[in-house]
């Protein structure tokens, strides 16, 4: 992981465009479900690897046991 690539590794937790404070949530992309952040401007960060189900990603978020 590159320093500053994720919020966990030093990236700002505020969107540089709208200033919204980001909160971790379960998101979905073509590759699967992941823990990350987004705002009205679009996806902001991917804090985890990909999970096959929303439930698995939600369990990782709830436990705090996620990362790239």
Write out the residue range of the structural domain in which residue 40 sits.
1-68
pLDDT at 26: 98
The residues that bridge with 33 in the sheet, in sequence order, are 28, 51
| Parallel/antiparallel/unpaired status of strands 42-46 and 25-29 | unpaired
pLDDT along the chain (68 residues), means of 10: 82 92 96 95 92 98 91
Alpha carbon distance 68, 58 (integer Å): 15
pLDDT at 1: 65
Number of domains making up the chain:
1
Query: Sign of torsion, CA 20 24 25 26?
Result: positive
pLDDT at 18: 93
Alpha carbon distance 15, 40 (integer Å): 10
């Amino acid at each position: 992981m590159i320093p500053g690539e994720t919020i966990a590794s030093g990236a700002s937790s505020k969107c540089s465009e709208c200033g919204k404070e980001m909160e971790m949530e379960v998101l979905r992309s073509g590759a699967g479900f992941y823990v990350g952040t987004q705002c009205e401007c679009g996806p902001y960060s991917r804090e985890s690897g990909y999970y096959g189900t929303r439930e698995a990603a939600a369990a990782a978020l709830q436990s705090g046991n996620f990362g790239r």
